[in-house]
Amino acid sequence: MQKFQYRIPRYIVDLPVRLRVDGASVAGRCREVSREGMRVELPQPLPPDFSGVVSLFHQGVALELQVRLAHSDGHQEGLKFVFASEKERDAVARLVARLNAGSGHAGPVLVE
C-alpha cells in the first residue's frame, strides 16, 4: 500500500521578487506561495546547489528570507524557505493568509 503524503496548500499569486545570485540581483515573479516555499519564474535557471536570499513584496510588506533550491523546471524554480526564527515563519504565515484572503478564492488552490 502506498503512503499518502499531505501537501501544504499553495496559493497562486503574481508578485515581484528579487533573488541575490552570486552577488547580483535577479528580478523574477512569484507564481505560487505556501508557508514553506514558493515557485518563481526567472529569466535563467538557478544553479543546482543554489541557496541565497529572496525579497518578496506585497502591498507595502517586504520580506527578505533565506531560501534554497528545492527543484527546477526550466525557468520555474521551487524555492524552500530556510527560516532563521519563528518570527520569520510567522511573518510568512501572515503574508500567505493575507494573499489568500485577497485572492477571492474560498480556500487553498492545490496544485501539482
With respect to residue 4, please indicate whether it lies within any of the assigned structural domains: no
Burial (CB count within 10 angstroms: exposed 0-12, middle 13-18, buried 19+), residue 44: exposed
Count Cβ neighbours within 10 Å for each residue of 89-105 and write b for 16 or more, e otherwise: eeebeebbeebbeeeee
With respect to residue 69, please indicate whether it lies within any of the assigned structural domains: yes
**Which residue range is the domain that position 59 belongs to?**
11-99
Q: From start to end of the chain, where are the E strands?
A: 11-21, 24-33, 37-41, 51-58, 61-73, 76-82
With respect to residue 112, please indicate whether it lies within any of the assigned structural domains: no
**Which phi and psi (to 5°) does residue 106 adopt?**
-70, -20
**Can you give the CATH number for the domain in which 16 is found?**
2.40.10.220
Total of domains in the chain: 1
Tell me what pLDDT residue 102 has: 66
Q: Which three cell numbers stand for residue 69?
A: 533550491
What does the mean pLDDT of the chain come to? Answer: 85
Convert the pLDDT of each residue in 4-22 to its tens digit.
555 678 889 999 999 998 7
